[in-house]
């Protein structure tokens, strides 16, 4: 049996640092092994460690770590990773809510199927820590007091400064790069027929323009 510990929600506030899992492993090492194996694409090992954590009553903590991994270690290499993880977590919650509650004193074990699918997906996914490194770098820059100037494009009819500059709906809806609705990486859909129809039918000063403001 796992060594006695407080309710997961309470003891996870500081982390599972002083307990042993069902297999006799230090819990902090198990959680660390999950992330390291996922980072290295070691699928079988990752599945072993998430199972060890789950049967030891650490399923909820394991899920939270997996959510972090989806952004920290996969991030923009597979932006769909976090979506998959959250969907699996939600499915797990639905099943868990309909499972018989464990006897008092015994640990709650989450449905294993969804947990190992999430770990498997992340272990097999392409990896990138650019998102995590960007986060850390931005924190460092803020600590140094670095600031950016508000870009000119942001000063449109929706801001006080933009209105003071005389920028209204005509500026915002213009087709040039200076307009507020300019898109840099524009993708044409069916020839952008609705955009063409709009500009053919709308003119600055049109009394009906208020519906567009």
The confidence score (pLDDT) of residue 202 equals 81
Domain co-membership, 118 together with 166: no
Q: Is residue 139 part of a domain?
A: no
Does residue 45 fall inside a structural domain?
yes
pLDDT single digits (tens) 101-157: 777 777 788 999 999 999 999 999 999 999 999 999 999 999 999 999 999 999 999
One domain for residues 161 and 126 = no
Look at residue 137 and tell me if it is in a domain: no
* Residue-by-residue DSSP string for the chain: -PPP---HHHHTTT-S-S-B-TTS-BHHHHHHHHHHHHHTT-HHHHHHHHHHHIIIIIHHHHHHHHHHHIIIIIGGGSTTHHHHHHHHHHHHHHHHHTSPPPPTTSPP---HHHHHHHHHHHHHS----HHHHHHHHHHHHHHTT---PPPGGG-STTSHHHHHTT--HHHHT-SSTTSTT--TT---SGGGHHHHHHHHH--TT-GGGGGG-
Both 35 and 109 in a single domain?
Answer: yes
pLDDT tens per residue, range 56-84: 999 999 999 999 999 999 999 999 999 99
Pair 197, 101 in one domain: no
Residues 160 and 208 in one domain: yes
Same domain, 67 and 98: yes
By residue range, what is the domain housing residue 172?
Answer: 152-212
Verify that 95 and 158 share a domain, yes or no.
no
Q: What does the pLDDT look like over 14-33, one tens digit per residue?
A: 555 688 999 999 999 999 99
């Amino acid at each position: 049996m796992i060594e006695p510990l407080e309710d997961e929600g309470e003891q996870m506030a500081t982390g599972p640092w002083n307990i042993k899992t069902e297999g006799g492993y230090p819990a902090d090492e198990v959680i660390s092994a999950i992330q390291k194996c996922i980072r290295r694409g070691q699928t079988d090992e990752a599945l072993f460690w998430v199972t060890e954590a789950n049967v030891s009553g650490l399923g909820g903590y394991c899920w939270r770590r997996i959510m972090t991994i989806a952004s920290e270690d996969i991030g923009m290499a597979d932006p769909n990773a976090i979506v998959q993880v959250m969907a699996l977590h939600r499915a797990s919650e639905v099943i868990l809510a309909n499972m018989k509650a464990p006897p008092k004193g015994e640990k709650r074990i989450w449905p294993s199927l969804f947990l190992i699918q999430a770990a498997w997906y992340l272990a097999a996914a392409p990896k990138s820590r650019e998102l995590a490194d960007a986060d850390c770098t931005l924190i460092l820059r803020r600590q140094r007091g670095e600031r950016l100037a508000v870009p000119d494009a942001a000063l449109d009819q929706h801001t006080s400064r933009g209105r003071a500059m005389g920028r209204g709906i005509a500026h915002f809806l213009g087709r040039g790069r200076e307009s507020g609705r300019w898109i840099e990486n524009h993708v044409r859909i069916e020839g952008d027929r609705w955009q063409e129809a709009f500009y053919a039918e709308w003119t600055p000063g049109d009394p009906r323009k208020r519906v567009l403001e």
